[in-house]
Chains A and B, each alone.
Chain A
Amino acid sequence: GAGVSQSPSNKVTEKGKDVELRCDPISGHTALYWYRQRLGQGLEFLIYFQGNSAPDKSGLPSDRFSAERTGESVSTLTIQRTQQEDSAVYLCASSLDGRGYTFGSGTRLTVV
């Protein structure tokens, strides 16, 4: 597609439920990134996929967080047993050369 697409744009879930967030990167972009942005804060790195290499999971805050990517296309970020501190905007970005990132509009997650 023309840009990075994320769905849903908004998600409200009850504490303890699992959620799945989706990212469709720009076609041909081999690198895909997930970041978390809490209200009024900067972007916190979560996970990075590059082609068929093993993902860099060094930013995942706990084992409740996981992500998958199918080839060089769609990625899903899963949060299990959601907690209130998981409430944030989850941003996905893709890149052709690992330098300039193109971001999606994010998924705003609210855990109640």
Chain B
Amino acid sequence: GESVGLHLPTLSVQEGDNSIINCAYSNSASDYFIWYKQESGKGPQFIIDIRSNMDKRQGQRVTVLLNKTVKHLSLQIAATQPGDSAVYFCAENRGYSTLTFGKGTMLLVSP
């Protein structure tokens, strides 16, 4: 999603719901994409990655979807739990260039 001023876009869900967090990336030449989770007061933590030769990859409770046609990445979290509450960032790079991060989405999970 797009950021509005200093306020992160926020997704509020109930515990047990499925969550979908979206990201529009900027560089059509990017060939590697990562989702990071950042909890308050901590550094970003790797969740899942995907290369440009794939359009879907699944992990434990998480799935990343890549649509290169529209430069869109999404993170799906199944059966969302309160511990999933955090800010989620997508990141992209090409080859071994430095990662470029998106602006982040805050996920709030209510019990």
Q: Hey, which bits of chain A sit against chain B, CB under 8 A?
A: 4, 33, 35, 39-43, 45, 48, 50, 56, 59, 91, 93, 98-106
Find out whether the CB atom of B103 lies under 8 angstroms from the CB atom of A41. Answer: yes
Report whether over half of chain A's contact residues are helix, strand or loop; otherwise say mixed: loop
Find out whether the CB atom of B6 lies under 8 angstroms from the CB atom of A40. Answer: yes
Interface residues of B in 93-111 (CB under 8 A from A): 93, 96, 98-104
Q: Hey, which bits of chain B sit against chain A, CB under 8 A?
A: 3, 6-8, 32, 34, 36, 41-46, 49, 89, 91, 93, 96, 98-104
- Count chain B CB atoms within 10 A of each CB in A41, A42, A48, A102 and give the residue with the most: A42
A101/B6 contact (C-beta < 8 A), A42-B104, A43-B44 known: no
16 extra interface residue pairs, beta carbon distance < 8 Å, beyond A40-B6, A41-B3: A4-B43, A35-B101, A40-B7, A41-B6, A41-B103, A42-B3, A42-B102, A43-B101, A45-B100, A56-B98, A98-B96, A99-B32, A101-B46, A103-B36, A104-B43, A105-B41
